[in-house]
């Protein structure tokens, strides 16, 4: 039986039917196994489509084995994202498949969203895409320290979830020539999550914490067999107090991601048919005016966001668990800050909860859904000799 782990700020997640995934204009794959029940419900009038048509499946000749095609889209939304029955909240919509046939009748992609799973010999780690408004609100509104703990199955009744399946892979790389044992990987992940947003979170801004994490990642990458075990090295890292201690590695000298560098990587990693958006006009001035004054106050949210990016991070297998992970977190921080500026550019108000939610959602749309994780990890490995 697989152990399933979650971050404490996400473990109570349940779909609130906001419909963001239904309206994203994504091609939603439909497995052949669910076609008969959906077809029967539509044919017998039990399950409506948004436009009343009985045609709901967009067949695809190139569909892989086991796939029938995708849900038909109407104005960029899934054909089954229909209005609720009269008497409910005006304008509210829901998934007709879920409402009529239940969770088990939905295609796998619908069952999994917004879960992003890493499966390896240790079990399943479930993080969430904050493009989902419910997941974003859970992150922004959390108040308790973030911990890693056991939680429910990633997909109820679904067995081993879809995601990055590393059960047959070699352990993550520590450096170009050394692999990291899984016990040390678990300790390092917990160390980074705690440093960012845990019960013993380090002082300073998100940038400060990432600087020290980068230094520790460099120190770990230089480890060679024959010395202290990696878990002991990780456990011995001191908590920085703002002034480097004698036994604390010097802060990371690698420059943080500039918006221009981050956006160059984004364009390189962006998957067709999506397009990585341009940087906001006059970004530096916009940031100085509406983001920088609020940045210290939103630091807890920013740090929780980064903890979410560290937990179950695919880059640990697709890149490495040390320097590439540190570079990934720095990239995520830059993307989030740019999207905060973009959200504030839409009106005269400074960064507030509403705009922060928008920025968090947009950052994960880019990093989780638009960027090819393997391409991004490869780019992180080549940056500054990582």
pTM: 0.92
CA dihedral angle for residue 180, residue 181, residue 183, residue 187, rounded to 10 degrees: -10
- In this predicted structure, the answer to whether residue 249 has a pLDDT above a threshold of 90 is no
Peptide linkage before 273 cis (omega within 30 of 0)? yes
- Reported as a single tens digit per residue, the pLDDT across 120-136 is 999 999 999 999 999 99
Kind plus residue range of the DSSP H or E element containing 67: strand 67-71
**By the 8 A CB rule, do 235 and 200 touch?**
no
End-to-end CA distance of the chain, in Å?
A: 36
Write down the pLDDT at residue 62. Answer: 76
Backbone angles phi, psi at 246, to 5 degrees: -60, -35
> Which residue from 342, 354, 343, 353 is spatially nearest to 263, judged by alpha carbons?
342
Rounded-to-integer distance, Cα 163 and Cα 363, Å: 20
Percentage of the chain beyond pLDDT 90 is 75
Average pLDDT, rounded, for the chain: 90
Rounded-to-integer distance, Cα 241 and Cα 244, Å: 7
Q: 223-233: b or e for each residue (b if 16 or more CB lie within 10 Å)?
A: beeeeeebbeb
Write down the pLDDT at residue 147. Answer: 98
- pLDDT tier at 16, thresholds 50, 70, 90: confident
- In this predicted structure, the answer to whether residue 385 has a pLDDT above a threshold of 70 is no
- In this predicted structure, the answer to whether residue 253 has a pLDDT above a threshold of 60 is no
């Amino acid at each position: 039986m697989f152990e399933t782990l979650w971050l404490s700020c996400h473990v109570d997640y349940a779909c609130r039917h906001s419909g963001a995934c239904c309206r994203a204009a994504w091609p939603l794959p439909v497995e052949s196994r669910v076609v008969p029940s959906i077809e029967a419900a539509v044919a017998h009038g039990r399950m409506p489509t948004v436009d009343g048509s009985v045609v709901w499946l967009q067949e695809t000749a190139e569909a892989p084995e086991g796939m029938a095609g995708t849900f038909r889209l109407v104005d960029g939304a899934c054909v089954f994202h229909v209005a609720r029955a009269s008497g409910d909240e005006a304008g509210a919509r829901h998934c007709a498949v879920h409402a009529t046939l239940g969770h088990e009748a939905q295609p796998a992609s619908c069952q999994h969203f917004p879960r992003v799973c890493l499966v390896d010999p240790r079990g399943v780690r479930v993080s969430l895409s904050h493009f989902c408004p419910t997941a974003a609100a859970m992150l922004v509104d959390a108040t308790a320290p973030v911990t890693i703990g056991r939680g429910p199955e990633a997909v109820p009744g679904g067995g081993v979830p879809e995601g990055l399946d590393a059960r047959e892979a070699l352990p993550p790389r520590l450096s170009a020539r050394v692999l990291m044992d899984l016990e040390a990987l678990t300790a390092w992940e917990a160390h980074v999550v705690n440093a960012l947003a845990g019960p013993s979170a380090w002082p300073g801004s998100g940038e400060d914490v990432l600087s020290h994490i980068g230094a520790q990642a460099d120190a770990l990458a230089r480890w060679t067999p024959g010395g202290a075990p990696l878990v002991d090295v990780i456990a011995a890292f001191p908590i920085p107090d703002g002034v480097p201690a004698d036994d604390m590695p010097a802060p990371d000298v690698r420059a943080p991601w500039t918006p221009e560098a981050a956006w160059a990587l984004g364009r390189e990693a962006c998957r067709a048919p999506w397009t990585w958006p341009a940087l906001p006009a006059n970004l530096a001035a916009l940031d100085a005016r509406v983001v920088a004054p609020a940045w210290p106050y939103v630091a807890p949210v920013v740090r929780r966001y980064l903890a979410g990016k560290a937990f179950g991070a695919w880059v640990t297998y697709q890149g490495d668990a040390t320097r590439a992970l540190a570079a990934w977190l720095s990239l995520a921080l830059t993307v989030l800050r740019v999207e905060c500026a973009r959200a504030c550019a839409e009106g005269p108000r400074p960064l507030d909860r509403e705009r922060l939610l928008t920025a968090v959602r947009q950052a994960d749309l880019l990093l989780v859904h638009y960027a090819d994780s393997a391409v991004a990890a490869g780019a992180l490995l080549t940056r500054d000799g990582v």
